[in-house]
Amino acid sequence: MAVHHHRARMTLLCVIMPLAAACASSSRGTSGAQPRNADGVFVEKGAVVLTGSALGDGHGSLLDTMRGKIPSFRLHRSAGNCPEISLRGQASFSGLVNPDVYVDGARTTDTCVLESLRAADAERVEVYPMGFTTRPGYRTHAEGLILVFMRQ
């Protein structure tokens, strides 16, 4: 019986120790943020964040800049309509509900604003594919959130 308990404890330790080490290493530094890359794209608190050179080198719209830098970002354009955006994996775009877009804390009515804003005029863009943020003042949205903070 004692051997069985010893094996159970060892098995439990083999499971718990790697998990504890992973938790400890992820809690160091900047609140679980990955190191900031020279290209200005990094992951922080569940968001893909674009700053600095990721936005400053954007010669076109914010939408065009985001398309090349955010994983799983899918875009569909049709004449006369606002862009259709999917932030998670493959999308059929039929019946798609776009992510909510906020510019300096104000919710926009559609995704067209991302075409009208110049990437170089934005200070920071946070994209939450899962649709929730710990930032106060933003609602969750099943299709994701795009938060744009403009330069002052």
pLDDT tens digits in sequence order for the chain, 152 residues long: 554 444 444 443 343 333 333 333 333 333 444 456 668 999 999 999 999 888 986 678 999 999 888 988 999 888 989 999 999 876 665 666 799 999 999 999 999 999 999 999 999 999 999 999 999 999 999 999 999 999 98
79 and 102 belong to one structural domain: yes
pLDDT at position 22: 36
117 and 85 belong to one structural domain: yes
Non-local (6+) Cβ contacts of 109 within 8 A are none
SS (H, E, C) 10-22: HHHHHHHHHHHHH
Residue range of the domain that includes 143: 32-150
109 and 36 belong to one structural domain: yes
The pTM is what? 0.73
Domains contained in the chain, number? 2
22 and 38 belong to one structural domain: no
- CB 34 within 8 Å of CB 120: no
25 and 37 belong to one structural domain: no
